[in-house]
């Protein structure tokens, strides 16, 4: 059964990977979209394709979720020009670096904490009140298995994803008594631009992360998000942990030898 048709889905970080996968899948289900990221050119191209192919309405916003004033303006624009989104997918996020914490780069730390934690909060702070006003909606936070188990070199990224899991539970508790659902999707190894960003553009190092096994794709995670959103209104999935079949934990990953 299709319960997403005609709904308005807001996806942060829609210019690539999991967010782009969500935009495409929800568009194919007949949902209207609000797409957010910093790379506006990519969003515009996605909008053109999805509107042409699916006859839906797609709004795009160039937005850095770290910029609280800009997020406030975005929230005001949403309230003024568009109805409150039915679904907010808090997906924008990144890892930056993978060194030991005592040699950590402060810019990397700020980038991760400001995007993954404060950015998610900024967007939620200005979008969720619109849902509360209408007493309906669904927040889908993108966490990670990095929010369940700490791995070597993960330090600050792990801390941000533990924070996302805590905030997911907090949002769920704070919204008790409303019709607003709250879910956290926690992917394992997913091949997107994630590792290229983590290794500051080193494509070879990024490629090596996925050597010898079949990783998840952004589209695989989008399917899980679609499932959670498409469930009947009285069904709330609090948390989903998804890994490639070859991966059983951040530490246990079967690679075929070359
Ligand atoms: N790939 C994995 O293995 C994996 C596993 C677990 C969890 N995750 C999580 O999944 C989410 C999506 O990552 P992905 O794998 O799809 O990586 P990706 O391909 O690098 O996509 C990240 C998206 O976030 C956006 N973004 C980053 N910083 C932003 C900012 N300050 N403001 C607005 N948008 C911003 C990027 O767009 P712009 O650069 O255009 O702004 C991009 O669209 C992240 O939260 C990540 O932590 C990924």
Question: Could you tell me the mean pLDDT of each successive run of 10 residues in the chain, 258 residues long?
Answer: 98 98 98 98 98 98 98 96 91 98 98 98 98 97 98 98 98 98 98 98 98 98 98 98 97 88
| Residue 139 belongs to some domain of the structure | yes
Q: How far apart are CA 31 and CA 57, in angstroms?
A: 8
Residue among 235, 197, 255, 204 at smallest CA distance from 18:
197
Is 258 part of a structural domain of the chain? no
Q: Domain for residue 151, yes or no?
A: yes
Query: 115 lies in a domain?
Result: yes
Q: Please tell me the distance between residue 213's alpha carbon and the centre of ligand 1 in angstroms.
A: 22
pLDDT at 92: 99
**How many A from CA of 192 to the centre of ligand 1?**
8
Question: Which pLDDT does position 82 carry in this prediction?
Answer: 74
Is 71 within a domain? yes
Alpha-carbon gap, residue 123 to 135, rounded angstroms: 18
Q: What is the DSSP string of 140-157?
A: EEE--GGGTS--TTTHHH
Of 22, 25, 37, the one to substitute when testing ligand 1's pocket (max ligand atoms within 8 A of C-beta) is 37
- Which CATH number do you get for residue 59? 3.40.50.720
Mutate to test the pocket of ligand 1, among 15, 33, 68, 92 (most ligand atoms within 8 A of CB): 92
Residue 253 lies in a domain: no
Whole-number Å distance, alpha carbon 12 to ligand 1 midpoint, is: 9
How many whole angstroms from 176 Cα to the centroid of ligand 1? 29
* Domains identified in the chain, total number: 1
Mean pLDDT value across the chain: 97
Which structural domain range is residue 155 located in?
8-242
- Per-residue confidence (pLDDT) for residue 258, from 0 to 100: 59
The reported pLDDT for the residue numbered 257 is 78
**Residue 164, in any domain of the structure:** yes
In angstroms, rounded to a whole number, what is the distance separating the alpha carbons of residues 87 and 231? 13
Pocket (CB within 6 angstroms of ligand 1) = 12-19, 37-39, 63-66, 91-94, 115, 119, 142, 144, 187, 189-190, 192-194, 197, 218
Residue 2, in any domain of the structure: no
Q: Which long-range contacts (CB under 8 A, 24 or more apart) does 162-166 make?
A: 163/116, 163/117, 164/116, 164/117, 164/120, 165/239
Can 162 be counted among the known catalytic residues?
A: no
């Amino acid at each position: 059964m299709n319960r997403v048709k005609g709904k308005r889905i807001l996806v942060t970080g829609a210019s690539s990977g999991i967010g782009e996968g969500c935009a495409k899948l929800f568009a194919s289900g007949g949902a209207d979209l609000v797409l957010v990221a910093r790379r506006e050119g990519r969003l515009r191209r996605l909008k053109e394709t999805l509107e042409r192919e699916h006859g839906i309405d797609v709004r795009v916003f160039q937005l850095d979720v770290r910029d609280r004033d800009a997020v406030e303006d975005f929230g005001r624009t949403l309230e003024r020009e568009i109805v409150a989104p039915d679904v907010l997918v808090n997906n924008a996020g990144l890892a930056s670096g993978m060194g030991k914490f005592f040699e950590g780069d402060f810019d990397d730390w700020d980038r991760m904490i400001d995007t993954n934690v404060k950015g998610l909060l900024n967007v939620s702070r200005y979008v969720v009140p619109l849902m509360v006003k209408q007493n309906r909606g669904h927040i889908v936070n993108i966490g990670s298995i990095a929010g369940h188990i700490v791995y070597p070199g993960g330090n600050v990224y792990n801390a941000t994803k533990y924070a996302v899991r805590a905030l997911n539970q907090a949002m769920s508790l704070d919204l008790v008594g409303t019709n607003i659902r709250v879910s956290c999707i926690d992917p394992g190894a997913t091949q997107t631009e994630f590792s290229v960003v983590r290794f500051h553009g080193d494509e070879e190092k990024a490629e090596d992360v996925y050597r010898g096994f079949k990783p998840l794709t952004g589209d695989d995670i989008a399917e899980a998000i679609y499932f959670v959103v498409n469930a009947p209104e009285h069904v709330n999935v609090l948390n989903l942990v998804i890994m490639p079949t070859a991966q059983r934990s951040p530490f246990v990953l079967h690679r075929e030898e070359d």
